[in-house]
Amino acid sequence: MIKVSIYRNDDKVKKFEIKGHAGYDVYDRDIVCAGVTAVAQTAVLGLESIDTTSLKKKVRDGYMYVEIENYGVGEDAIKSCAIVDTMVLGLKDIEKDYPAYVKVFDRRCDG
């Protein structure tokens, strides 16, 4: 199962962590893993393309951790928020369609 943990503060996502493999199909044919990976990696690429946004990330097989240090300023902050919020919507939609394979935990955090 893939477990996605979203950590928010003041309604902004501060960090997210994705762990595990779906187990929907064999490793190189697992559409659930591929969907989660595509949504999350595309969001990270989008954030990294914004000059005033900064983040820390750790990525390896079956694991992704991203901490958003700075959403940017002005229009960049609006774009960054839209990217992250869209990622969360996409992951929750995958969870809705494949609840036995993906679980999204959306939590409040301090700091």
Residue 22 carries which DSSP code?
A: -
- What is the pLDDT of the chain when averaged over all its residues? 95
Predicted pLDDT of residue 111: 55
Domains belonging to the chain, first-starting first, are 2-108 (3.30.70.1490)
Determine contact, residues 8/109, Cβ cutoff 8 Å: yes
Q: Residue 48 corresponds to which tokens in the numbers above?
A: 């990294």
**CA distances from residue 108 to 5, 7, 39, 46, 58 in whole angstroms, order as listed:** 10, 6, 22, 24, 21
pTM: 0.94
What is the C-alpha to C-alpha distance for residues 64 and 58, in angstroms, rounded to an integer? Answer: 6
pLDDT digits (tens, 9 = 90+) for 56-107: 999 999 999 999 999 999 999 999 999 999 999 999 999 999 999 999 999 8
